[in-house]
Amino acid sequence: MIQNLITRTLYRATFMHTPASPFDDPAGLQVQEDGGILVENGVIAATGTYAELRGAFPTAEVSDLRGGLLLPGFIDTHVHYPQGRVIGGLGMPLLEWLEKNALPEEARLADTTYARAVAQEFTRSLLHNGTTTALVFGSHFASAVDLLFGEAERSGLRAVAGLVVSDRLLRPELHTTPERAYAESKALIEKWHGTGRQLYAVTPRFSLSASEGILDACAALMREFQGLRFTSHINENVAEIGAVRDLFPEARDYLDTYERAGLVTRRSVLAHNVHPNDRELSVMAAHHCTAAHCPCSNSALGSGLFPLKRHLQAGVHVSLGTDVGGGTGFSMLKEGLQAYFMQQLQGENGVPLTPAHLLYLATRAGAKALDLQHITGDFASGKVFDAVLVSPSPRTPLRAVFDAADSPDRLLAATFATGVQGDLACVWAGGKTVYRRELGLAALSS
Ligand SMILES: Nc1nc2[nH]cnc2c(=O)[nH]1
Ligand SMILES: [Zn+2]
């Protein structure tokens, strides 16, 4: 007899997601109280009320998640793998922080034993915080990037990552050449791009540390291989922007250093963009390129107030990133709240963000930035089941709000306002449980 190999689970929960952008559509947030999500072999097959789905699939195994709030897995579109151990270097602007805090630590990843431990901590930190997809700034060492991909694939994290390449102005041990950058990246692409959940992102660190030669090597990779993503930094700090202007006298502005190399596309994600000019915004919009907003980092490094309104008015897509370790941790809830604060502080120049906007920025906006909106970011049928259950433990501040809430909207607002890692009870990636609060990650993945 032919075995029926379909695994089918019906999740019963109040769930919320943003299949459309609340920036464009006031009805972008969808809320389902006592909802049902039917997952078949890791993919969402149907959604609706629990009662409807129970009626249609009476034999499906039920996973009862009532008392919590089920959200799509978070998507962090800017986070540095080698910087998890140097979170908290406060009190310095970008260039000093790089020299004193980040780069000495990044040099340590030449040691594969060290890199393996950091890769395990990093993937665990993301998954424990409900992040199931991340655009990861890798390491300058190919061996460390290989370890990251291996750990991401083992743990269930979808990493879009790559070798970070630079050939000037960092530290000698972090420098490479265009030829070596090309060869090492190519080997990593051939091994990891499209393997399981993993994808490759071509990653020059920033124009300050990249010659035209190395940017051209990046462009050659983008031409040679289908479906690669591109990421780098842009317009983060005023001193940085001045230095880039001096290094690229021919370029019209910071964006032009990437644009001239053909690196600004709909699969490009440029982190920060705190100080863009109007030309840059209009070119980013025309090329459907994303700005990854990192509000905790922008606050910690004093980089400035992100001009979200100007991005939206110009038509530039915006996603959210934690920018660990310039940022202050792996929580996309905290990042959403900080984005909200920074808009509130801008008065008329700010965008009044709602909880629906924050959820969108933390989920579907990231999927769109990575051109993965057909795979993840919301709970529409056909998407893989990447999800996080917010279910605060008894006697926690968020549980008090959940128990008192008279509408599901209150749950979402309070989750962003006061939710922490400990409030997340379970995380699924591709339908598999990759974290359960009671067990911890190790028990599930080792
Ligand atoms: N925030 C941040 N900006 C950068 N620009 C170049 N490298 C970095 C980095 O590691 N962090
Ligand atoms: Zn960064």
Note the pLDDT tens digit of each residue in 134-189.
999 999 999 999 999 999 999 999 999 999 999 999 999 999 999 999 999 999 99
Task: Please state, in angstroms and rounded to a whole number, the distance separating the CA atoms of residues 8 and 42.
Answer: 8
Note whether residue 441 is domain-resident.
no
Average pLDDT, the chain: 97
Note whether residue 442 is domain-resident.
no
In the predicted model, is pLDDT for residue 442 greater than 70? Answer: no
What's the domain range around 413?
8-73+378-436
In the predicted model, is pLDDT for residue 427 greater than 80? Answer: yes
Please indicate, yes or no, whether residues 51 and 199 belong to a single structural domain of this protein: no
- How many beta carbons lie within 10 A of that of residue 62, not counting itself? 14
Please indicate, yes or no, whether residues 354 and 383 belong to a single structural domain of this protein: no
Q: Count Cβ atoms within 10 A of the Cβ of residue 41 and give its class: 0-12 exposed, 13-18 middle, 19 or more buried.
A: middle
Please indicate, yes or no, whether residues 122 and 17 belong to a single structural domain of this protein: no
- How many beta carbons lie within 10 A of that of residue 27, not counting itself? 9
Task: Please state, in angstroms and rounded to a whole number, the distance separating the CA atoms of residues 416 and 338.
Answer: 10
Counted domains in the chain: 2
Please indicate, yes or no, whether residues 231 and 323 belong to a single structural domain of this protein: yes
For residue 444, the model assigns a pLDDT of 52
Note whether residue 323 is domain-resident.
yes
Please indicate, yes or no, whether residues 385 and 263 belong to a single structural domain of this protein: no
Which of 76, 78, 80, 175 to probe ligand 1 with, by most ligand atoms within 8 A of CB? Answer: 80
- How many beta carbons lie within 10 A of that of residue 183, not counting itself? 14
Please indicate, yes or no, whether residues 428 and 401 belong to a single structural domain of this protein: yes
State which of 369, 389, 416 marks the end of a domain.
369
Q: Can you read off the two tokens belonging to residue 168?
A: 């000037």
**Which residue in 14, 16, 23 sits closest to 377, CA to CA?**
16
Average pLDDT over residues 297-320: 98
Report the separation in Å between the CA atom of 168 and the middle of ligand 1, taken as the mean of its atom positions.
14
For residue 2, the model assigns a pLDDT of 53
State which of 348, 369, 390 marks the end of a domain.
369
**Which residue in 198, 246, 423, 441 sits closest to 333, CA to CA?**
423
Q: Is 193's C-beta closer than 6 angstroms to any atom of ligand 1? A: no
In the predicted model, is pLDDT for residue 378 greater than 60? Answer: yes
In the predicted model, is pLDDT for residue 420 greater than 70? Answer: yes
Note whether residue 443 is domain-resident.
no
pTM: 0.97
Please indicate, yes or no, whether residues 241 and 159 belong to a single structural domain of this protein: yes
Note whether residue 123 is domain-resident.
yes
Note whether residue 446 is domain-resident.
no
pLDDT tens sequence across 230-259: 999 999 999 999 999 999 999 999 999 999
Q: Count Cβ atoms within 10 A of the Cβ of residue 3 and give its class: 0-12 exposed, 13-18 middle, 19 or more buried.
A: exposed
Please indicate, yes or no, whether residues 295 and 251 belong to a single structural domain of this protein: yes
Task: Please state, in angstroms and rounded to a whole number, the distance separating the CA atoms of residues 284 and 278.
Answer: 10
Task: Please state, in angstroms and rounded to a whole number, the distance separating the CA atoms of residues 267 and 323.
Answer: 19
CA 106 to ligand 1: nearest atom: 10
Average pLDDT over residues 16-39: 98
Report the separation in Å between the CA atom of 180 and the middle of ligand 2, taken as the mean of its atom positions.
23
In the predicted model, is pLDDT for residue 1 greater than 70? Answer: no
pLDDT tens sequence across 326-344: 999 999 999 999 999 999 9
In the predicted model, is pLDDT for residue 440 greater than 80? Answer: no
Q: Domain containing 350 — which CATH number?
A: 3.20.20.140
Judged by its nearest atom, the ligand closest to the C-alpha of residue 271 is 2
In the predicted model, is pLDDT for residue 441 greater than 90? Answer: no
Please indicate, yes or no, whether residues 123 and 183 belong to a single structural domain of this protein: yes
Report the separation in Å between the CA atom of 327 and the middle of ligand 2, taken as the mean of its atom positions.
8
Please indicate, yes or no, whether residues 349 and 405 belong to a single structural domain of this protein: no
Contact between 389 and 15 under an 8 Å Cβ cutoff? The reply is no
Phi, psi angle pair for 325, to nearest 5°: -100, 5
Which of 206, 235, 297, 328 to probe ligand 1 with, by most ligand atoms within 8 A of CB? Answer: 206
pLDDT tens sequence across 79-129: 999 999 999 999 999 999 999 999 999 999 999 999 999 999 999 999 999
Note whether residue 1 is domain-resident.
no
Q: Can you read off the two tokens belonging to residue 36?
A: 């049902």
For residue 409, the model assigns a pLDDT of 86
Average pLDDT over residues 63-67: 97
In the predicted model, is pLDDT for residue 445 greater than 50? Answer: no
Note whether residue 444 is domain-resident.
no
State which of 347, 369, 391 marks the end of a domain.
369
Q: Domain containing 410 — which CATH number?
A: 2.30.40.10
Please indicate, yes or no, whether residues 52 and 166 belong to a single structural domain of this protein: no
For residue 438, the model assigns a pLDDT of 87
Please indicate, yes or no, whether residues 220 and 363 belong to a single structural domain of this protein: yes
**CB within 8 A of 16, min separation 6: which ones?**
29, 30, 31, 32, 69, 70, 71, 359, 408, 411, 412
Q: pLDDT band at 3, cuts 50/70/90?
A: low
pLDDT > 70 in the chain, percent:
97
Q: Is 78's C-beta closer than 6 angstroms to any atom of ligand 1? A: no
